[in-house]
Chain A
Amino acid sequence: MAIIAMNGDQAIALSWRQIDPDVVAAYPITPQTIIVEQFSEFVADGLVNTEFVCAESEHSALSICIGSAASGARTATATASAGLAFMWEVLYVASAMRLPIVMAVANRALSGPINIHCDHSDSMGARDSGWIQLYGENVQEAYDNSLMAFRIAEHPEVRLPIMTCLDGFIVTHSLERFEPLPDDVVKQFVGEFKYRRSLLDVSKPVSMGPFDGTDYYYEHKYAQVEAMRRTIPVINSVAKDFAKLTGREYQLIEPYKLEDADYAVMAMGSTAGTLKETVDELRAEGKKVGSIKLRLFRPFPSAELMKMLEGLKGVAVMDRAISIGASGPLFPEVRSALYEAKHRPKLSNYIYGLGGRDVRPEELRSVYNDLMSGSGETVNYLGVRA
């Protein structure tokens, strides 16, 4: 299909139009609004058969999605920031009930101070909720992740809800050129939704979401652990099918100019793009540096990460979120993944871009300089007027 220009939100809405989910229940919130707005136009124009529910809150939106998915309907929603925080209680219900709901998260800082711009504190905070989390670097990836997400979440080995995260404003509102797939190709790739149990099937009556006491709760939690464990091979096989179709290959962790590199900086989302630019500049100066983009945060690909980072001299982990009183949320996971490595790189953490603060190539260059000169603290605050 032809290359077109769209922003990230429009690309998500387009992917949903092509997939035509049975139900979309959502509440608009910046910077996710365009997804819901655009999709509601598709509904009004009769371009999809989706039952669209404009809920009165995010808590209600996800609760409606849970009811819908429990009835056996393919279900999608989208949110951001405080909206995701408002869904908190029911996030855990969706994953424990093993409902493959697909949710686009337009990453935005949590209040307060109140702010509408990009950081990852919303979805990173939801890391323990039992949802799969994929992060996209740009509009193309946001679109591609959205298509693959349905296949991953609905896979019989998985059946878990999934968040497809894209950087608020930087990706959601920036017009970029990208290549969508033709409608029929998308339909064929995503396929028909097959539910396991339906609340509406009166011939096989079931109860869903019952009280689970001290004697069974832990076993059902463990089943979620096992499903999450089975997710990584499924993500890889879906990515393989997707590559056959599009030529676009997606790995869990994407290395850039890493083969002979001594130092690398690692990030999620749009900053991974800025990093590649910075690596190109430094390579032109003869510096042996590379970068790493992490696409998958849950489940955390520890083994794959260890393999990729082992042997490097130094790695800086960029965190666009903060756990005040500790470090960024990504850093301890990377450090933990490398504990068993034979040749551990020196690791440092850079908190950056909170509340949408721009991160510029010269700032990323300073991170590489820190790595190469052995300066910098374990946890650093990039670009703050301390």
Chain B
Amino acid sequence: MPGERSSEMEEGAVIIEPGSSRKYKTGDWRSKRPECDELKCTNCLICWIYCPDNSIIVENGKRVGFKLTHCKGCGICANQCPAKAITMREEGA
């Protein structure tokens, strides 16, 4: 990320480095986190298709976890899951 002080920042809020959004941890915004019941999950990957933040981690064609550094907790995955395997749990609860 750019410097923390106004004088160190790039003029006009220009981003001069490609792919820097990876470093911007939007997961901090979340108030609810997704949790998956592995027994119910069929690995249909509907959650992966719908996730607007690219936060469903898939390895070898299988859903293996959530990228919580960037998941904003919107709940779309839980809403779309046909097996009702994903639920949203209050952060800090």
Contact = CB atoms under 8 A, between A and B. Distances in A.
A225 to B, nearest CB: 9
A6 B4 CA distance: 52
Nearest to B16: A206
B14 A206 contact: yes
B7 interface: yes
B9 A220 contact: yes
Nearest to A219: B6
B18 A159 contact: no
A contact patch SS: loop
B29 to A, nearest CB: 9
Contact of A159 (B5, B6, B11): B11
Contact of A212 (B6, B13, B16, B18): B13
Interface stretch (A92-100, A174-182, A262-270, A338-346): A92-100
Interface string A183-213: 0000000000000110000001111111010
Nearest to A211: B13
A250 B4 CA distance: 39
Contacts of A220: 6, 9, 12-13
Contacts of A226: 6-7
Contact of B12 (A96, A204, A205): A96
A222 B9 CA distance: 11
A223 interface: yes
B5 A208 contact: no
A210 B2 CA distance: 13
A196 B5 contact: no
Given A206-B14, A208-B14, A219-B4, 7 more contacts: A159-B12, A197-B14, A197-B16, A206-B15, A208-B15, A220-B13, A223-B11
Interface of B: 2, 4-7, 9, 11-16, 18
